[in-house]
């Protein structure tokens, strides 16, 4: 009887230790994917409208809305989840290629309370299109892919058609009212954006000019076409067109 009690107590202690450890958050790596830091981006000569590209469509969402200081950046990633580049998104973001609903990085976009991502306290809310982009990218295999834009019209620039989409994709996650994570700079309206652009600060930041904080923060410079588009919009007087 004494041996049985000792055995039962040992089993109970073991179970407690297992349960205690299971409560700790550890990034889960899918068994069917083993990314390497040496993975290179596969770039297509042109963009397929039916394909979602990591570099063009998905990374800007994570960079703007998730990989900020205090959240899931490379320096001090919260809960060990680093969403600043392809390798770390795949290895710490619980991405299961081909299965969006089985991928934690997608599931948390629909959580509530403390599990919601981005958290409600950040003031950041992904749009339906951004969620759809992440979903489709994972569904299509979560590839480290990119494409070259076929056309780059920097002459006939429209705020609504050209400038606003660039801001929404690359900047709005940090720089939306009240801009709590964007140094107090809000770029979510025409009035605030045009004022910032007219000061020279917008072009200075995105062109990585000396004296300005390089933007988007912590990620690659915007493509030349997008910078040229913004530059021309500013030169033409930051029109609300």
Mind listing the pLDDT tens digit for each residue in 83-141?
A: 888 988 888 888 999 999 999 889 888 876 766 676 665 566 778 888 899 999 999 99
Q: How confident is the model at residue 37 (pLDDT cuts 50, 70, 90)?
A: low
Rounded to whole angstroms, how far apart are CA atoms 185 and 216? 13
pTM of the model: 0.66
Question: In whole angstroms, what separates CA 171 from the centre of its chain?
Answer: 11
Rounded to whole angstroms, how far apart are CA atoms 228 and 64? 21
Rounded to whole angstroms, how far apart are CA atoms 86 and 145? 10
Domain ranges of the chain: 42-147, 159-235
Backbone phi and psi for residue 42, each to the nearest 5 degrees, phi listed first: -90, 115
Mind listing the pLDDT tens digit for each residue in 137-178?
A: 999 999 999 988 766 778 889 999 999 888 887 787 677 665
Yes or no: say if 138 and 54 are a contact pair by the CB < 8 Å rule.
no
What does the pLDDT read at residue 136?
Answer: 96
Yes or no: say if 146 and 56 are a contact pair by the CB < 8 Å rule.
yes
238 by DSSP, 3-state: which? coil
């Amino acid at each position: 009887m004494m041996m049985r009690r000792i055995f039962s107590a040992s089993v109970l202690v073991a179970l407690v230790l297992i349960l205690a450890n299971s409560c700790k958050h550890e990034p889960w790596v899918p068994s069917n994917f083993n990314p390497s830091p040496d993975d290179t981006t596969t770039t297509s000569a042109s963009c397929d409208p039916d394909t979602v590209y990591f570099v063009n469509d998905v990374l800007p969402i994570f960079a703007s809305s998730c990989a900020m200081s205090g959240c899931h950046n490379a320096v001090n990633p919260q809960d060990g989840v680093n969403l600043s580049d392809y390798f770390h998104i795949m290895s710490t973001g619980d991405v299961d290629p081909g299965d969006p609903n089985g991928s934690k990085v997608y599931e948390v976009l629909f959580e509530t309370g403390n599990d919601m991502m981005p958290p409600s306290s950040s003031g950041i809310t992904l749009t339906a299109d951004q969620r759809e982009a992440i979903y489709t990218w994972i569904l299509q295999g979560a590839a480290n892919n990119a494409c070259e834009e076929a056309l780059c019209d920097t002459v006939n620039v429209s705020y609504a058609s050209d400038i606003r989409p660039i801001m929404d994709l690359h900047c709005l996650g940090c720089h939306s009212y009240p801009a709590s994570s964007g140094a107090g700079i809000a770029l979510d309206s025409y009035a605030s954006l045009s004022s910032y652009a007219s000061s020279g600060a917008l072009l200075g930041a995105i062109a990585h000019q000396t004296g300005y904080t390089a933007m988007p923060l912590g990620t690659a410079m915007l493509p030349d076409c997008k910078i040229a588009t913004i530059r021309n919009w500013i030169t033409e007087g930051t029109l609300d067109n």
